[in-house]
Amino acid sequence: MFIIKLGGSVITDKSKKECFQQDIVDNLSEEIKKADKDIILVHGAGSFGHILAKKYKLNAGYKYDKQIEGFSATHAMVQKLNTLVLESLQNHRVHAVSIAPHSILRLDNHILDEINYKVFKEYLNKSFTPVTFGDVVLDKKLGFSICSGDFLVKVLADHFKPEKIIFVLDEDGLYTSNPKMDENAEFIDSTTADKLKKLITSLDNHADVTMGMKGKIDSINEIAGLNIDTILLNGNKPERLYKALIGEKIKGTIVYGDNR
């Protein structure tokens, strides 16, 4: 079994509100069907969730009544994105079913308090593809907060121990710095958890351009501690997803689990 994370930067244009990248998602759905593997699919919120979540400061927890409106609106937006992803998968004969995080888990000051893993297992056993996503959720201490797609990948990996984790990005993989802003950024084709920790430290000095990737690296570092390999690849080259799923070598970054 594999866990795939479709990044918000791949399935949406983050610079434009509610901008779904239909062609890209359709191409990825086709490759997922062709690979014919047991998969839990997680996707980011992209331009459907981040703008409203930031506007209402939802990750800081419940502070004022207007946030209730923001919580509801943000959930509606990410649910809309989830429906678009489901439609693409189903149009390519992937039997996808939606599992909304707000209905199956709760956080406690951003830390997992409870989650219903059983529903994922039951769908997998019946040959469905569970699809979950970054969402706003209840938080025991804060009232509510944000459950990111990267966080979901981490907790699902800890429970299900998949063969591999695959992060689908809008870049070829990991770099020593942001390749969109640094022409001297060096591509990393493989690395380990120990080396990742050094990379995280170096990114601390460039937080203005790398916070999104830094958070992702933090999650991948924790996944490596579970002795699970993680592959990062470019979703704009959809054939790479298929090849990664069937075990072929691709251009991408592999982060080896701690057992390597």
Q: Are residues 144 and 232 in the same domain?
A: no
Adjacency order of strands within the sheet including 164-169: 96-98, 129-133, 39-43, 2-6, 164-169, 230-234, 253-256, 190-192
Rounded mean pLDDT, 25-45:
97
Asked if residue 202 and residue 147 are part of one domain, the reply reads: no
Is there a single domain that holds both residue 6 and residue 73?
A: yes
Rounded Cα gap, residues 88 and 91, in angstroms: 5
Look at residues 143, 162, 181 and tell me which one is the last residue of a structural domain: 162
Could you tell me if 182 and 144 lie in one domain? no
Strand pairing category for 2-6 and 164-169: parallel
Residue 208: pLDDT above 80? Answer: no
Residues 181, 244 contacting (CB under 8 angstroms): no
- Provide the pLDDT confidence category of residue 220 given band limits of 50, 70 and 90: confident
Report how far apart, in Å, the C-alpha atoms of 134 and of each of 3, 10, 35, 211 are: 15, 14, 25, 17
Cα–Cα distance between 254 and 53 in angstroms, integer? 31
Which three-class secondary structure state does DSSP give residue 37?
coil
Q: Which of 153-167, 172-186, 204-218, 245-259 has the lowest mean pLDDT?
A: 204-218
Axis crossing angle, helix 207-224 with helix 193-203, rounded to the nearest 10 = 160
Report the pLDDT averaged over residues 138-162: 96
- Residue 238 is classified by DSSP as T
Residue 211 has a pLDDT of: 44
Number of domains in the chain: 2
Q: Could you give the percent of the chain with pLDDT greater than 70? A: 93
Both 149 and 177 in a single domain? no
